[in-house]
Amino acid sequence: MQSLQYQGLKIASNNHQKVDDFLVIEAALQININNEPYTVVMRTPNDDVELVRGLLFAEDIYKKAAPLSFKIIKKEAAIISIINVNISKEDLGKGYLNKRTLLSVSSCGICGKQELKDIKVTGNKLDQIVFSSENLHKMFAKMGDFQETFKKTGGCHAAAIFDKNQNLRSIKEDIGRHNAVDKTVGDLLEKGSLKEANYLLVSGRVSYEIVSKAFIAKIPIIVAVSACSSLAVDFAKEFGICLIGFSREQKMTIYSNPNYLNNLENV
């Protein structure tokens, strides 16, 4: 369940009428690790296991391929409100020490970080790959075909991962942009196919958080419908990620590593 129907009063010019609109659900999910509260995220229900798996991966809490044991602790009206994951102390990554003490809201992926140094991501640059921009709009069209909650509510984001042959490997929707990304990464982790991820498409803007998640997942190309923040561009350049924004209406803006494209003369 990702949407609920609400009644509203629609006003246009001098006329008004009652309408029934579908609204995207935003609900809190408490994540426990080894039966201890770790963080609370605001998200759209469904794909909660994938969301948690992707978040733990991005936060350097659990990066192993072996599946995890999830248990629903509390459920209200078919919506999970508390979920627990068991991870042995030997498998807990360094990110667990950076325990999120604040609520992580749906619009802010780095809320809850305790210090500025905690948002730093390190590692070697991703390997360059060459691709044609001609297929990007086709991939966005394919992603749009699966955005059922957005079609119904107009109020949620989507993230989609494609492989090197532009085959759709995962698409997830959520009220939070970074949540949708975590869900797609978590989905491929569960399937054991994250290595096949080459393109990350997002329905909204790109901030530092999304670039860092793509870098950790080793996805070299990020394409956004909307704008990119300055920090996102800075880190994309540092990480070796080709970052593209405003990809719509047969247009796009390349902000980092344009050498990845093999058809610049046609762009």
CA dist 90 and 78 (Å) reads 34
- Residue positions forming the annotated binding site: 246-251
Same domain, 177 and 253: yes
Same domain, 262 and 156: yes
Instruction: Tell me, yes or no, if 242 is annotated catalytic.
Output: no
Q: Give the pLDDT score at 181.
A: 96
Which of 13-22, 23-32, 134-143, 178-187 ranks highest by mean pLDDT? Answer: 178-187
Query: How large is the average pLDDT for residues 39-56?
Result: 92
Kindly list the distances between the CA atom of residue 123 and the CA atoms of 177, 236, 240, in Å, as whole numbers in the listed order. 24, 12, 11
> Count of CB atoms within 10 A of residue 7's CB?
8
Given 119, 142, 157, the domain boundary residue is: 119
Q: Give the pLDDT score at 98.
A: 66
Same domain, 238 and 149: yes
Q: Which residue has the higher pLDDT, 120 or 261?
A: 261
Q: Give the pLDDT score at 101.
A: 46
Confidence tier at 24 by pLDDT (50, 70, 90): confident
What residue numbers bound the domain in which 184 lies? 133-266
Please indicate, yes or no, if residue 126 is contained in any of the structural domains. no
Q: Give the pLDDT score at 116.
A: 43
Same domain, 143 and 95: no
Please indicate, yes or no, if residue 90 is contained in any of the structural domains. yes
Q: Give the pLDDT score at 107.
A: 57
- Specify the 3-state DSSP secondary structure of 150: helix
Output DSSP code: residue 48. Answer: H
Dihedral angle at the C-alpha atoms of 108, 226, 172, 257, nearest 10 degrees? Answer: -90
Given 119, 149, 164, the domain boundary residue is: 119
Confidence tier at 99 by pLDDT (50, 70, 90): low
Please indicate, yes or no, if residue 168 is contained in any of the structural domains. yes
Q: Give the pLDDT score at 96.
A: 79
Same domain, 110 and 86: yes
Same domain, 73 and 188: no
Same domain, 33 and 112: yes
CA dist 155 and 150 (Å) reads 6
pTM of the model: 0.81
Same domain, 100 and 173: no
Please indicate, yes or no, if residue 138 is contained in any of the structural domains. yes
Taking 90 as the threshold, does the pLDDT of residue 266 lie above it?
no
Given 75, 97, 119, the domain boundary residue is: 119
First-to-final CA distance of the chain: 40
Catalytic residue among 108, 111, 156, 228: 108
Contacts of 158 (CB under 8 A, 6+ apart): 143, 146, 147, 150, 171, 172, 173, 180, 202, 203
The tally of domains found in the chain comes to 2
Do 248 and 225 meet the contact criterion of CB atoms below 8 Å apart?
yes
Average pLDDT, the chain: 85
Could you report the per-residue pLDDT of 231-249, keeping only the tens digit for each?
788 888 889 999 988 888 7
Please indicate, yes or no, if residue 222 is contained in any of the structural domains. yes
Taking 50 as the threshold, does the pLDDT of residue 143 lie above it?
yes
Output DSSP code: residue 203. Answer: S
Percent share of the chain, pLDDT over 90:
46
Do 222 and 241 meet the contact criterion of CB atoms below 8 Å apart?
yes
Q: Give the pLDDT score at 114.
A: 41
- Specify the 3-state DSSP secondary structure of 235: helix
Please indicate, yes or no, if residue 110 is contained in any of the structural domains. yes
Please indicate, yes or no, if residue 1 is contained in any of the structural domains. no
The angle that helices 230-239 and 208-216 make with each other, rounded to 10 degrees, is 20
Same domain, 139 and 255: yes
Please indicate, yes or no, if residue 11 is contained in any of the structural domains. no
Helix H or strand E encompassing 256? strand 251-256
Could you report the per-residue pLDDT of 100-120, keeping only the tens digit for each?
544 455 555 555 554 444 555
**The residue to which tokens 């979920």 are assigned:** 83
Taking 50 as the threshold, does the pLDDT of residue 267 lie above it?
no
- Token pair recorded at residue 211: 């670039």
Same domain, 163 and 98: no
Q: Which of 52-61, 74-83, 125-134, 198-207 has the lowest mean pLDDT?
A: 125-134
CATH number at residue 168: 3.40.140.10
Closest CA to 57 of 164, 189, 156, 221: 189
**The residue to which tokens 């980092």 are assigned:** 256
Beta bridge partners of residue 40, listed in sequence order: 30
Could you report the per-residue pLDDT of 157-177, keeping only the tens digit for each?
999 999 999 999 999 999 999
